[in-house]
C-alpha cells in the first residue's frame, strides 16, 4: 500500500469500548503499530508518518487490530495513557476522545 | 457538502459500545438520518444514497450523532435490529458487526 493508499482507522478504548478518534494508516504505519505495540498513523495534514503521542506524550498502547469485512478499514483497540484529542477541556487537559460533541440539532457539517 | 465530499461515519451500538461498521455520509445522507431517525449513508460502490436496511431489513435506529474535534468525521450511535454486516455467519445470519476478524499476525492489508 503506497502512502497515497490510506485506510481509515477507528480507535477504540479496549477497556470501555469508547470510540476515541479516527485517523488513517498506510502499510508502514500499520507495520510500525504492530511491531511497536503503539498506535501509528499517516498524518494527512503533515503528510508524514505519525507516532501518536511522540510530541504530546499521549501514546496509545495497542491491544489488537481488527479489520472489516471488505478490508478497507481498521479498528485499533487501545489503552490510552491520558488524553487522546489535540483539543483541551476546561481544565486545560487533553480531551479523552475526539467525539466530545453531539451534532447540534440545526447544524450541518458546514454550519457547526 | 456535495456528493463528492464524503465524511467517514463510525457506527457504534449505543447499548454495548461495540463498533459495528464504517461507512460514508454526504450532507443529504446526514439530513435524512436526522429526519428519519434511521441510518443513511452514501454508497461509494453504488454511487447513490443508501438507506441501510432498505433491502436487507437490517435498519439501524439512530440514538444520536456525534462529531469529532476537526469536524471531518461522524459517529452514529445506533440500535441495530438484527444483523449489520453484509456477510453471513456459519448459521447463515448476517453478522452483527463488520469487525469480526483480528488482523492476522503475518498479514498486511494486501495479503489478508
pLDDT for the residue A3? 44
**How many angstroms away from the CA of B78 is the closest CA of chain A?**
13
pLDDT for the residue B5? 85
Residues recorded for chain B: 112
pLDDT for the residue B99? 96
pLDDT for the residue A9? 98
Instruction: Judge whether B74 is closer than 8 Å to chain A, CB to CB.
Output: yes
| Helix boundaries (H) for chain A | 27-36
Angle at B28 between CA B23 and CA B33, to 5 degrees: 65
What pairing do the DSSP bridges indicate for beta strands A7-13 and A74-80?
parallel
pLDDT at B111 over 60: no
pTM of the model: 0.91
Please name the residue that has the C-alpha cell 460533541. Answer: A101
Question: Residue B57, class by beta-carbon neighbours within 10 Å (0-12 exposed, 13-18 middle, 19+ buried)?
Answer: exposed
Instruction: Judge whether B19 is closer than 8 Å to chain A, CB to CB.
Output: yes
Q: What percent of chain A has pLDDT over 70?
A: 89
Note the pLDDT tens digit of each residue in A11-35.
Answer: 999 999 999 999 999 999 999 999 9
Nearest to A109 among B1, B10, B64 (CB): B1
pLDDT at B2 over 50: no
Instruction: Judge whether A70 is closer than 8 Å to chain B, CB to CB.
Output: yes
pLDDT for the residue B103? 87
pLDDT for the residue B110? 52
pLDDT for the residue B107? 54
Average pLDDT over residues B60-82: 95
Instruction: Judge whether A37 is closer than 8 Å to chain B, CB to CB.
Output: no
Amino acid at each position: 500500500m503506497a502512502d497515497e493508499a490510506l485506510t481509515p482507522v477507528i480507535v477504540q478504548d479496549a477497556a470501555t469500548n469508547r470510540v476515541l478518534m479516527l485517523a488513517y494508516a498506510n502499510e508502514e504505519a500499520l507495520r510500525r503499530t504492530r511491531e511497536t505495540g503503539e498506535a501509528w498513523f499517516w498524518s494527512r495534514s503533515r503528510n508524514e508518518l505519525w507516532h501518536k503521542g511522540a510530541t504530546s506524550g499521549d501514546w496509545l498502547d495497542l491491544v489488537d487490530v481488527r479489520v472489516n469485512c471488505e478490508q478497507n478499514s481498521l479498528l485499533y483497540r487501545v489503552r490510552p495513557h491520558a488524553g487522546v484529542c489535540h483539543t483541551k477541556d476546561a481544565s486545560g487537559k487533553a480531551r479523552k476522545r475526539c467525539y466530545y460533541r453531539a451534532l447540534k440539532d440545526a447544524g450541518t457539517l458546514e454550519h457547526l
